[in-house]
Amino acid sequence: MMGASFVKDRLFPVMTILLAILAIWYVAAYSMNAPFQRDFDRRAGETRTGTEFFMATMSQPKPTMPAPHQVAENLWKNTLTVKPWSKRSLVYHSWVTLSATLLGFAMGTALGVVIAIGIVHVPALDRSFLPWIIASQTIPILAVAPMIIVLLSAIGVTGLLPKALISTYLSFFPVAVGMVKGLRSPDVLHLDLMRTYSASRAQTLWKLRLPASMPFFFASMKVAIAASLIGAIVGELPTGAVAGIGSKLLAGSYYSQTVDIFAALIAGSIVAILLVSLVDLVGRLVNARMGAKTP
Q: Contact between 202 and another protein (CB under 8 A)?
A: no
Residues in CB range of 217: below 8 A, 6 or more apart: 113, 175, 178, 179, 182
* Interacting span for another protein (CB under 8 A) from 1-9, 29-37, 59-67, 206-214: 206-214
Q: Contact between 274 and another protein (CB under 8 A)?
A: no
Among 135, 143, 155, 189, binds another protein (CB under 8 A): 189
Q: Contact between 198 and another protein (CB under 8 A)?
A: yes
User: Judged by CB, which is closer to another protein: 208, or 232?
Assistant: 208
Q: Contact between 291 and another protein (CB under 8 A)?
A: yes
User: Judged by CB, which is closer to another protein: 179, or 263?
Assistant: 179
User: Judged by CB, which is closer to another protein: 104, or 178?
Assistant: 178
Q: Which of 239, 111, 252, 217 is nearest to 168 (CA)?
A: 111
Q: Which of 97, 107, 102 is nearest to 234 (CA)?
A: 97
Q: Which of 270, 188, 171 is nearest to 224 (CA)?
A: 171
Q: Contact between 290 and another protein (CB under 8 A)?
A: yes
Rounded to a whole number of angstroms, the minimum distance from the CB of residue 197 to another protein is 4
Rounded to a whole number of angstroms, the minimum distance from the CB of residue 206 to another protein is 10
User: Judged by CB, which is closer to another protein: 146, or 215?
Assistant: 215
Q: Contact between 81 and another protein (CB under 8 A)?
A: no
Contact between residue 204 and residue 191 where contact means Cβ atoms under 8 Å apart = yes
Contact between residue 56 and residue 37 where contact means Cβ atoms under 8 Å apart = yes
Q: Which of 167, 128, 112 is nearest to 145 (CA)?
A: 167
Rounded to a whole number of angstroms, the minimum distance from the CB of residue 194 to another protein is 7
3-state helix, strand, coil in the chain (%, to 5): 80, 0, 20
Handedness of CA 228, 231, 235, 236 (dihedral sign): positive
Distances (CA, A) of 58 to 45, 46, 257: 20, 17, 15
Rounded to a whole number of angstroms, the minimum distance from the CB of residue 211 to another protein is 5
* Interacting span for another protein (CB under 8 A) from 31-39, 103-111, 195-203, 232-240: 195-203
Rounded to a whole number of angstroms, the minimum distance from the CB of residue 219 to another protein is 16
Q: Which residues bind another protein (CB under 8 A)?
A: 189-190, 192-199, 203, 207-208, 211-212, 214, 290-293
